[in-house]
Structures are given as C-alpha cells and as structure tokens.
Structure 1
Amino acid sequence: MTIRIAAVQAEPVWLDLAATTAKTIQIIEEAAAGGAELVAFPETWLPGYPIFLWAYPVPEQMPFIARYHANSPKVDGPEVAAISEAARRNAVTVVLGLSEKDHGSLYMSQAIIGPDGSLLQHRRKLKPTHAERTLFGEGDGSGLSVVDTTLGKLGALNCWEHLQPLVKFTMYAQHEQIHVAAWPCFGIFAEHPSLGSEASMAVSRTYALESGAFVIVSTQIISDEGARTFLVDGAPSQIIDGGGGFARIYGPEGALRASSLDPTVESIVYSDIELADIDLAKSFADPVGHYSRPDVFAFSVDRSKRSPATLGEVETTSATELPSEILAVDGSL
C-alpha cells in the first residue's frame, strides 16, 4: 500500500495564534489537495518558536512572554478544534506542534489528530532544551508512545529529543513505522556546530537508520519581515540569519527520499512510501529485534502520567451528621 506523507516548511504568523491557526488550515487543505494522507508541522508551530528566549536578557523578555502566553493554545481549545475539523474535512492525519497552555504553564507539545478529527495522542517534550527551560515545563513518560493509526505505527518527537538515546530507544521498542521529527527554525544560530541544520539533519537521518522507520522532518522558516518581530535596539536580533527551512523525508534505510529546494521558501515536501520497505531495512539491523541483546542490557521506562497533586473527593457533611455534643438541645447549631 502506497502512502503519501508531507513535511511542512513554512513560517508561522509570529506570536499570532488566530492568524497561524488560519494558515495551518490552509496548509492542510493544500497538502490534502496534493494527495497527502499525513501532514507534519514543526515544533511549537502555534504560535511560532520563541526566538526571544535566545535574543534578549531575561528582564527584557517579559513583554514577549506575556504575548506568547496569550497566544498559546489549549489542547481542548477552539484553535485545535478548528484544526481537527480541517483534518476531518480533508480526511488527513495531522501531527501538530504547539506551545500548549495549561493554566499558568506552557509546554512544548505535539498533537496527533486522526483523519476523523479525533485526538489520537497529546504529548509534551520530555526536557526542553537550554533557554527553553525558562519558559516551558517538562513532559512525562506518558508522552513516549507510538500510536496505531490507519497509516501504520506513528510517533513524534521534538527537536533535541532526537539527541537523547534512551528517549529514541523507547520509541524504537514500540516498532514505530512513521516518525515525525519536528524542528524549529534553523535561521537562528545557523553557524553554531550543534544548533545548525547540518547536525540536526544528521540526527534525523540517524533516527531513520536506527529505527528502520520513515522520518518526516518539518521545520519553520523566518523571513526578513518575520525577523522584525524580534527587534533588539531597533534592529533584528543578530542571532537571526533568515531562511532556515530544511524540510525533508528519510527512508528506513537512511536514504533521502524528498527535500525542499530552497531554505527561504515555504513549501510542502511530499513522498510516496511503502511500509514494506521497513522489512528490508530491518533485515540488516533491527535494534529492538534480531540485532538486540536483552540478555546483556536491561532497560525500563516509567510511562505513568504525572500530576503535581492527588486530590481526594470533596465530602460534605450535613448538620444532622455532626456529633450530638455540638448540637443545641433544639437541634440547631
């Protein structure tokens, strides 16, 4: 069975939830018209990656932080509902990156939405990276799950989760077949060896080789106009180099199946895949099958969903249930 998958390379409407939601729906419709059955969006696509975390000292970030909170969606909010309806209307599976607002906290989340509009998975980035930890909370093991879909076993991770060996192995152990690697914009810190596109594409390709899965790499871009959202002393931040789009799709053997041609241009990258290709790739090396050594290595994962408090039920007590010694003779309190 042939499946058409799509990686998004696009610019959000920076820090504007309503406008980026509308753009998301347009992209879903365009991808569906192009035959896509699965559409993958970048990390924190809604409402855009928080570049200000890297561009400003913390005291100067406060206006951005307030605006970012105000434009971050709730998983059960109207923006995700509208995107879910677009997925249903176009009969496509959508992997959406979002800055998820949960009361007073934000999380770098991903939502897998089925072609019927149902929420198949909601996960949070296990460990935000470096400066991200000043804005975002951590996820828990419940988000390290591969879900069964009509297209196959589908999973997703954000950005530098692809540098964490045990996180990756947890996904491999669930026999993932299609993986979404969601990245931010590579138009910032482009020359830094570990933060640039070259290293990030290397670990994305390594994920395909190690897992024997198809890997969809989705990325944001930033234009000259978008860079003006992040002015420092009246000029765009010096960390912004522009462009930064490197959407691509890798096969389970590590081969580049499709890629964007221009890192400065918005595009949707398509690839027609056959899940049967995974069998051939894994016949050479399957790290959670014939190429594993469970007699030598032991590995366990706590996938419990965590909560900061366990609250019991609220019980009410009527006056007639109070001890008799605190009741007046006439039965009143």
Structure 2
Amino acid sequence: MPTVYRVAAVQAEPVWLDADATVEKTIGLIEEAAAQDVALVAFPETWIPGYPLFLWLGPVAGQMPYIARYHANSPAVGSEHITAIRQAARRTGVTVALGYSEKDHGSLYMAQTLIGPDGSVILHRRKLKPTHVERSLFGESDGSHLKVVDTPLGRLGALNCWEHLQPLNKYAMYAQHEQVHIAAWPAFGLYKGIAYALGADANMAVTQTYALEGGCYVIAPTQLISERGIDTFATTDEQRALLATGAGSARIYGPDGSLLGKPLDEHAEGLIVADIDLTLIDLAKNAADPVGHYARTDATRLLHDNRPKTPVVHPGATTEPHFPELDDPDAEAPTD
C-alpha cells in the first residue's frame, strides 16, 4: 500500500439537470486528474445532475417541473451513466469518489460511490439525513452507511455536506480509523450574504475541524454556480437575488488541520491537487486520538447501530447493505 500519493478535489459546475453531459464532463475531469498523476479524485455532493437549488427558491408548486427533470436525470447504481464512470476509472487507473442523486425506483438518495482503479465499487453509501428542504426530495439511509473501507490507498470514508455537523456521525467514522475522508459539498452561492450557516466560511471550518479531530486527510470538493446555473433555476428577480455566481470553495486538509494545495478562485473550474503522506497521521494522533488514548470511555461512549434497516425484513438476509446491480461479475470490473 502506498503511503505517499496525490489526491484531487473537484471544483466545477455540473451541467445542470443533464446526466449525459455531466457524465461526459466527469470523465474529462478524471482524465485530467490522471494526467496529473492523481491517485484519488473526489466529486461534490449530488454532482450528477447538480445540486437541486430549486428546492430553496420558492413554493412546492413551482418545483414540480424541476422534480420531473431531476428524477429523469438521476442515475441508478447499475445505470449506464455510473458504468461509464467506472470504465473511466479503470481505463485511467484513478480511484474516484463520486457524488450523485441516486434513483432507486420511485425514490432518490444523496449517494456517494467510491470506485477503485480497476472499476470495482469499493463503497456505496447514502446520506443519513437530508438537510432541511432536501427532505422533500431525498430519502434517508441508516447506520450501515457510516462506513470506512480498506483500500489500496488506505482506509477511506465519505460523508455529504451537513453530515459534518453531526458530532455522533463523525465519531462513528473516526472510530473506524479513517485515514482519508471525502467531504462532499454543493456550491455555496445559495443565500450568500444572507445565511452564514450556508456559506463557505462556516462549512469549510467544520471540514477543517473534521481533519483535526479525526487526525485524517480530508478532500472537500465543491460545485460552483455560473450565470447559466442561475438562468436554469431562477425565473424571477427575487429568485435571482437568492443565488450568487462563483462560490466554489474546494479544499484539501492535512491531519493537523493544515491547508494543502492551492485553492482556486471561487469562479474557476479545475482541480485542487495535493500530495499526502499517510505516515503523518501517526504524528497527529500521537497528540490527540479521540477514539484511542485521548478517549474517556468511562465518561462518554457512542452507540453506533450499523445494521441496515429496510421496509421489508427477510429472515436470514445479509446484514450488509445490498445493491444487486453491483453483483454482476462484469460490473465488478467493467470493460471499455
């Protein structure tokens, strides 16, 4: 297992409500990462087909036309869209952390899929609790989706957006000795200057805190918004006033909380790239390991129920999250 390698956080605008075009852009960014010798590239929350900004811009009745398009452009885990990205990962040898709106029959979930350099699916998870108005569009998952996995690049895990504001979620991840964490975020151009909690400063602060608390590397990709994005979702001057262009804030943090790589201008698309060294995690945790020598189990402990919960229970069924679309041997290593 390499202890030193290069990672990248995507800062870019999706092709709003267009899965085909966003997948094409995704593959281009994976190829760009490969050209820079990146071993792991991370994409933002709901990168495909873009974060549903329409949820925050008006009454439910006005959202209906967007919801139909959003469902139609949300890929299933076994879809041709995800397969094409898996093939790109295999072709380039890059590990890909992909965020997207996952369609599972009539329901949508805020999903993250970790794809290995051979095209295999290493981890598939869903956001435990969609935030605020997101709950009108997306379903929830359960404790089985708080999971860190062993990979050739170390122990990797992922969370979406305000899952990083849930202290117990974070501690459940820290306790699995995560080494590299994907903190996927949308764009921060929503209610900019109006709601500080939705802005880049507050949310990058909790992302940096995750690195420091967990003693791990954190890769934080973000979306950004252009005039094209505003035109997609805003139909009135009042709605346009709630959206701001730019607001990209992709970052990479070290296990001591230090900023790694060179941030891009908030309006610029591209990759934040940094070299990481997993051996430095030991130095960080020597000072403070919140799930090891710095814990106080006599005072506080976390109950993490990692059993999957389903609407129908079949006696004797597996205790692991199961996605039949990923069972096909061809799907484990897709061909070009």
Of residues 38-47 and 221-230 in structure 1, the stretch that sits farther from structure 2 once superposed is 221-230
- 1:257 to 2:265 alignment: no
State the distance in 2 between where 1:227 and 1:280 align. 45
- 1:175 to 2:183 alignment: no
- What residue ranges of structure 2 are gaps of 5+ in the alignment? 317-336
Q: Deviations over 1:89-148 (max 9, x none)?
A: 111110000100000000001001111100111100000000100000001111100010
State the distance in 2 between where 1:261 and 1:157 align. 23
The alpha-carbon deviation at position 261 of structure 1 amounts to: 2.7
Secondary structure of residue in 2 paired with 1:137: coil
- Identity percentage of aligned residues: 60
1:219 corresponds to which of 218, 222, 230: 222
1:93 corresponds to which of 95, 99, 102: 95
Q: Deviations over 1:189-216 (max 9, x none)?
A: 2221111000001000000000000000
State the distance in 2 between where 1:194 and 1:144 align. 24
State the distance in 1 between where 2:64 and 2:145 align. 30
The alpha-carbon deviation at position 309 of structure 1 amounts to: 1.2
State the distance in 2 between where 1:188 and 1:285 align. 36
Q: Deviations over 1:18-61 (max 9, x none)?
A: 00011000000000111100000000000000000001210110
Alignment of 1:160-309 (within 5 A): 160-191=162-193, 192-233=195-236, 237-309=240-312
Amino acid at match of 2:258: A
State the distance in 1 between where 2:251 and 2:312 align. 42
State the distance in 1 between where 2:135 and 2:239 align. 23
Secondary structure of residue in 1 paired with 2:11: strand
State the distance in 2 between where 1:223 and 1:54 align. 17
Amino acid at match of 1:9: Q
Amino acid at match of 1:297: T
Amino acid at match of 2:115: I
State the distance in 2 between where 1:296 and 1:91 align. 46
Larger RCO, structures 1/2 (Cα 8 Å, 6+ apart): 2
Amino acid at match of 1:10: A
- What residue ranges of structure 1 are gaps of 5+ in the alignment? 314-333
Residue of structure 1 in register with 2:13 after alignment:
11
* TM-score, scaled to structure 1: 0.92
- Work out whether residues 93 and 113 of structure 1, in 8 Å CA contact, stay in contact via their aligned partners in 2: yes
* TM-score, scaled to structure 2: 0.91
- Work out whether residues 98 and 108 of structure 1, in 8 Å CA contact, stay in contact via their aligned partners in 2: yes
- Work out whether residues 32 and 92 of structure 1, in 8 Å CA contact, stay in contact via their aligned partners in 2: yes
- Work out whether residues 218 and 248 of structure 1, in 8 Å CA contact, stay in contact via their aligned partners in 2: yes
Amino acid at match of 1:292: A
The alpha-carbon deviation at position 312 of structure 1 amounts to: 7.7
Give the structure with higher Rg (CA).
Answer: 1
Residue of structure 1 in register with 2:148 after alignment:
146
Amino acid at match of 1:247: A
Secondary structure of residue in 2 paired with 1:294: coil
State the distance in 2 between where 1:224 and 1:207 align. 32
Residue of structure 1 in register with 2:129 after alignment:
127
